[in-house]
Every structure is written in C-alpha cells, then in structure tokens.
Structure 1
Amino acid sequence: MDDFLKETKKFLEEAGQGDKNLHVVIGNESCDLDSVIAALTYSYFLHKTSASDSIHSLPVLTIPRSQSHLKTDSNFLLCHTGINPDHLTYRDHLDLQQKGRLSLTLVDHNVLVGSNVSLEESVTMVIDHHQLERKPSNKVKLVHDLVGSCCSLVAGILLDSPEFPLTPQIAKMLIGTILVDTVNTSPEAGKTTPYDQEMLGRLMSLILDLDTEKLFDDIQQAKNDVSALSKREILEKDQKQVTHGNQTVVMSSISTSLQTFLQGSDVKQALDSVLHDRKGQCVVVMTMQVEAGVPHREILVYSNNGRITQELADFLETDTEVQLDLQPLPCDLRYSLAYSQGNVKASRKKVLPLVKSFLEKSSVPQDDLYLS
C-alpha cells in the first residue's frame, strides 16, 4: 500500500489531474483513526479492483498537513504497519473545489459539512456507521449499519471481494482500528456488535500469532500521549462541530481526564480560541479514559455566555433518550459546567445528535450568540 500512496502523491505533485478522472475517498472532519484507515484501505481497494485506467483513486485526509502531528494514534498505526506518513495526501494538497471529473466516496460520515457541501453532486458512495442523515438517492450507493467501527464495514467489502488480495498489512490496519473503536471489544463500552466481532475473527485468521491485547494497548498509549501538544491542539486532535442556522457547538473528544485537562493557565485561552476560529457559541469536551479495561467518561460544557452553558447543560442532563446519567463535578472555570458521565456507552456519536436537537430547539436569542 505504501507504494500506492507514494505514487498517488507523486501523481498529484508532478502530473496533476491530466486526462484522468479522480475518485477521492474522504473521511469525516475530525480525521480520527477510523476515518483515516477506512479512507486509505478502501481507496487502495478501488485502485486494485478498478477495471478502468482512466480513473485515479486516492484517499484525502480532511486536515491540513500542518495538523498531522495531532493524530498520534493514526501515525503510530501507520508506521507500525509500514506506511510512511509523508506519503499521505492532505486536504491542502488538493483543491477538490477546482477539480473537474470528480467522484467521491464518503467513509465514516454520510453527509458533507462546511465548504465541502458544494461537492454533493460528486458523491457516488457512502460507507458509514453513524446516525443516517442522508436522504435516499438512486445516485449514491449506501453501505450503512450502526456497528462499532466504520472499518468493520470496509473490512466486509474487502473480505467479500474475490478480486482483492487482503494482505496481513491491511488486515492489521483494520484490526487495530476496530479494536480502538470498540475499546478492545469491551462489553462495558457497549460499542461492539456481532458484525464487528465477525470481521475481527475473519481478519485475524489472516495473521498468525497476532497479540491483539498488545496492539490495542500500543495504539491506545499513542492516542493518549499528548505530552507534546498544547491545550488548543488537544482540543483540535479529534474535533467536530454541529451547526444549525447561525449557531455552532464545537465538540472535542480527548483522552485525558477533565482534572488533567483543566490544569494550567492556558485552558480558557484555548477554549476561546476554538470558539473564535469556529465561530461557535459553545464547546463540549468529552473525555474517555480506559482503566483496567473499564471505560470512564466525563463532559465539560463551556461558553463565553453563562446562559448558553446552562441551557445546553440542562438539556443534556434532562435528556431521556440517550440518558447520559450526568453527575456534577467541581469546576472553577468561568461559564463552565463539568460532569461525570455514568452512561459510558454514550460516545460522541450518540451525544452529537442530542446537541443538534438542542440547537434546533434553542431559545438563545441572536444578541446572546458569541460570534466574535
């Protein structure tokens, strides 16, 4: 696969698009491990199985190259499986808006957001495991199931294709990602489905003597190592946003406890910087740590407006659909509310739709919105 990625990047740098059509595979805006590996492996699959020489398949990571150091878990797994991160193509390497003859496959999300919305006409396929927001269309092939990892869905496609030689390298990339997404198939996390288990079994049959416990621990350790990152970079490491009308809530997933994250004098500056750059009104920070195989979650709600903080926090506290089971934690940061989350099965994938529902019902007036 590394040769494919190297050739793809060289093709873009030296030849441009030329006479070839481009089939780009992109993950979601957070560019997390699941999105990265799903995009790389599915694009490689298209490259190997395409019957047409006039189409060039390539994966594009949805962050600028300057942020690649934030993806510590992805960088570890790629290097561990023999992929040179320098051979990856990032969003600032290719202007999708300017490219004609473009087709898109979305992995790990099912609707385009932000500036990419204008590319909707180019979408031909979606592979995703999040709540379905896309309207049915005969023009778009949809592979969708609420499994623990998008890479499980990609694995199913690759494993069921007689034309594709699924190598141990690719199997390990998929296995590592599925393990991280399902918290090593922990029952307490509640993220593993029978399909995830089936795909793990089929993939592991391709690799002799794979120590999955060590693989999971090594990736998790790389993911949790934020010692070289600033508070702002920790927030950017795995970030999404929810927008409705002129209101935006930024959602950051971090792998440290709130107690650790809130230490230091630069926390407020980092949160304010995120609000400013994303033109947001509120930041929701979701934490998850795994101790002795047991996951623990916390939530921080922050805004520059106490009313917005309180309204969103009240909405999450009183929700009866997901039932987060929030218990207040002490927090000295102004306009912030912190909670331990009793329902550890509720990941951002489940909380994000709640935040979207809050924005749709929000009574916060225009004058109260923080848009500076």
Structure 2
Amino acid sequence: MVDVSLGLGTFLSTSKHIFESGNEINDVTVVIGNESCDLDSAVSSIIYAYFLCIRFSEEEKDRNVNNGSIIIPVLNIERKYYPLKTEVKYFLNTNNICEDSIVFRNEIDLVKLHEEKKLKLVLVDHHILPEDLQGLENSVIKVIDHRPIDKKSNWSNEVVIIEPVGSCTTLVADEIIKENKNIMTNENVALLIYGTIILDTYCFSETVKRYTDLDREIVNQCKILGKIDISEDDLFNQLKESKNDVSQLSAPQLLIKDMKTVYNIPISTLTTLAQDFLQKVEAHESIKSHCKEFNASVCIILGVDWHEDVHYRDVYVYYEDDSTDNEAPCEAQQKADFIVQHLIDYSLLDLELIKTIYSGYLFKQKDTTWTRKHVIPVVENACKYFIPQ
C-alpha cells in the first residue's frame, strides 16, 4: 500500500507507478466517476481513493501486513480529451496534481481485472454501469451519487449512498469527516472539495437552488479544517472563468468537452447557449461529424449561460436527416420527435420552440433549475419506448 503521509500528489503518482510497474498485485480498488468527467466526478474519485488508501494503510499497520493491494482513482475519459476539461485541469494543477500522475479510462483494463478476480470497483457521481462495463456488477463494492435514483439501479443498501445534494463531493467529504476528519486538514484536500461544491452549487445561488444544508455544512468544515482563506465568490469566479475558457477549443471539441451518452445519444452541455453555438460557421458540419464519431443518428445539446445572477438555458435536439422531400420522416427524425415530445410532456423544462434549424429543434428552457441529470432519465425513458414506424 502507498505511504499517504507524503500527501495527495505523491499518493497519486506512487499509486500509478505501482500499478504500471508490473509487480504482483492481488487486488485493485478503482474509484471512478462518470463519463462526463466534470470537476465533481474527477475530485470525488481522487479524494475518495485517497481516503480509502489512508483507511487501508492504517488497517495494514494495525495488522502489520502488506497484502499486495492498491487503490487508484481513474478519470473516466481518454487521456486525449483531458485538455478539453479546462476547469478540471486548472483546479487539479492548482492543487499540485499534474496530468502525469493521473490514470485515465483508456489506460486500465477493468474487464480484465474483473475476469482475474482482482477488481474492486467504487462508483462516484453515478450509479449505473455504462454498457461496456455491464458485466462488472459483482465487482462493485461502493456507490456514492447525488442524482435521482435510476429505476435500473438494484444495488443493495449496504453499498449505496445516494442523496439529493448539490455535489457528490459533499457526500464524499461527509463520510471522510465522520470517520477521519484529520484528512480534511490537508489543504489540497479541503480546497478541492470546497471549490467543487461551490462550482456545483453556483456559489449557493438562490436563483439556481442547487444546494442543501449539508453542502453548506461541508463547505464550512472545509474552511475551518483546511484553514481556507479564499472567499467563496473569488474561487467560484476563478473556476467559472476556467470552465468557460474555451477560446482554444474547436466546435467539435466543445461538443465533447462535457458529454454523456444515453442509448447511443450524445448529450452535450455547453458553457454557452446552444443558439449561440449554432451561429458558428462550422456548427452544422461539427454536429454531423460528432454524430458520425459516436455512431449516433440523434444528439442533444444543452446550452447554459450565466450573467451575474441571471441564468439562461436552451435545448437543441438534432437528427441526421437522410430522407428526401417526398418521403415520410426518417427513423432518426421519428426518434428525435419522440424524445422532444417526452421532454415536453414528462419534464418540467417548460420548453418553448424558438425555431427549427438544420435538421433539429431549438427550444428555450424556461425552468432553468432543470439540468442534464434531470433530462437524462426522460431521454432514457423515451428511447426505451420508441418504436420506429
């Protein structure tokens, strides 16, 4: 087991080195976030893995054994996409976590570890395994999430913590504080949690209303235990600026920056309104290429814009149109129409059609409190019941 007394950065680099060294390892505990790899997922996986490593190191010390185990956090994207996660890269670098010390999803074979009976899997910031990992259920030892519970979820209560708080990092920190609050005296640990919750809750905005009393309590504990002196507003503005700094990203990269896939439908969240994105010269070709890259006939773009304390959202549902003028709607259009109808009928988005553009529908979202985590279950349900005509 790694010596964690040297801090968070050393834990990460040493864990990765041991994993890649080829030395005999009896079991690997992997802590992994969701496929969007936003700041909440990235920090939750890193901090919870660090916490587990400290816990197991103390257990080994008590038993005076070394059982050939290793604990590593994994960022759930390919390494080549890391530069697109601007706020993640910025905040990890600020806290002395360099890219070279991180293990990415394409650098670890979870299925092989599972087949060798070496894998212990911890899911943070999601609670449903993606399609390519569906056979790994028996390796899951813990689930921590703050999303609405998916009906497909069938984990036992012993391994699950799912609570509707503003940030998954809040639940991670809550467990740490209850068991070993000394970990929170590490300035990097406290600051990473502090900043992530502030960003996730939009700095406790009353307009967005994405926080609970527990989010606020954990942030206060971070300030006290980690002796944090940067104000919430200042750190929020820094993180917001880094997240919105997409000046070096192309239109295709913007679509991948914050994306999840549901029933083979890419759902991208932008840091600008979809309406503004669609005005880009390369927007249409970028969307078409995006669908081709992910073998999708339909994609969804969720736009978000934030000016001071005013929040704007819109939704664009696109389909690949391969029909002629004389034909009935193609299957992709039928699916897009079915999803749109579900979003109108079964969600509280309060959508207002702005216009049709390219082969897609652009809506203003009047209820701005609904985010992607609320949209996904509606899209999943639509896809489940869609039957092409």
What TM-score, normalized to structure 1? 0.91
Which residue in the other structure is 2:90 paired with?
76
C-alpha distance after superposition, 1:71-92 (max 9, x if no partner): 1010111111221122111112
Identity %: 29
Q: Which of the residues 352, 357, 361 maps onto 2:385? A: 361
Larger CA deviation: 264-273 vs 177-186:
264-273
* Correspondence for 2:360: 336
| Native 8 Å contact 2:207 2:310 kept in 1 | yes
Structure 1 CA distance for aligned equivalents of residues 147 and 228 of structure 2: 32
AA in 2 matched with 1:28: N
Task: Give the equivalent residue in structure 1 for 2:373.
Answer: 349
Distance 1:26 1:192 in 2: 23
Secondary structure of the 2:174 match is helix
Instruction: State the match for 2:201 in structure 1.
Output: 182
Match of 2:298 in 1: 282
Over the residues paired in the alignment, what is the CA RMSD in angstroms?
Answer: 1.7
1:42-88 Cα distance to aligned partner (Å, 9 max, x none): 00001111124322110011111111101101011111122112211
- Secondary structure (helix, strand or coil) at the match of 2:299 reads strand
Partner of 1:32: 38
Name the CA distance, whole Å, in 2 between partners of 1:273 and 1:120.
33
Cα distance in structure 1, aligned partners of 2:78 and 2:13? 18
Q: Which amino acid is 1:153 matched to? A: L
The count of residues paired between Structure 1 and Structure 2 equals 356
Instruction: Work out whether residues 19 and 70 of structure 2, in 8 Å CA contact, stay in contact via their aligned partners in 1.
Output: no
> What corresponds to 2:78 in structure 1?
64
2: CA distance, partners of 1:236 / 1:79: 21
Letter in 1 for 2:234: K
Question: C-alpha separation between the residues in 2 aligned to 1:315 and 1:289?
Answer: 24
Aligned equivalents of 1:221 and 1:163: distance in 2? 31
Aligned equivalents of 1:163 and 1:307: distance in 2? 53
Match of 2:211 among 158, 170, 192: 192
* 1:225 matches 2:245: yes
Query: Are the aligned partners of 1:309 and 1:335 in contact in 2 as well (CA < 8 Å)?
Result: no
1:312-343 Cα distance to aligned partner (Å, 9 max, x none):
22322233xx3111122245x32111111111
In structure 2, relative to structure 1, the CA distance for the partners of 1:56 and 1:182 (3 Å cut) is same
Per-residue CA deviation, residues 255-303 of structure 1 (Å, 9 max, x unaligned), is 0122331133322222222322323231111111221122211111101
One-letter amino acid of the structure 1 residue matched with residue 170 of structure 2: S
Q: Which has the larger displacement, 145-154 or 90-99? A: 90-99
- 322-331 or 145-154: bigger deviation: 322-331
Looking at structure 1, the residues matched to 129 and 180 of structure 2 have their Cα atoms a distance apart, in angstroms, of 31
Structure 1 residues 163 and 259 mapped into 2: Cα distance closer, same or farther (>3 Å)? closer
What residue number does 2:328 align with?
none
Q: Equivalent residue for 1:297?
A: 313
| Structure having the higher Rg | 2
Give the direction of change, closer, same or farther, for the CA distance of 1:102–1:330 in structure 2 (3 Å limit): same
* C-alpha distance in 2 between matches for 1:62 and 1:208: 29
Does structure 1 residue 326 correspond to structure 2 residue 345?
A: no
| Correspondent of 1:252 among 250, 265, 268 | 268
Does residue 262 (structure 1) correspond to residue 283 (structure 2)? The answer is no
1:7 alignment partner, SS class: helix
**Aligned-pair distance for 1:103?**
0.3
User: Given that residues 48 and 164 in structure 1 are in contact (C-alpha distance below 8 angstroms), is that contact kept between their aligned partners in structure 2?
Assistant: no
Superposition TM-score, scaled by structure 2 size: 0.87
Displacement of 1:127 in angstroms is 0.5
Structure 1 residue 164: deviation in Å? 4.6
Contact 2:222 2:228 in 1 (8 A): no
Structure 1 unaligned blocks of 5 or more: 366-372
Instruction: Find the partner of 1:121 among 138, 145, 170.
Output: 138
Instruction: Check 1:163–1:185 CA distance in 2 against 1; reply closer, same or farther (3 A cut).
Output: closer
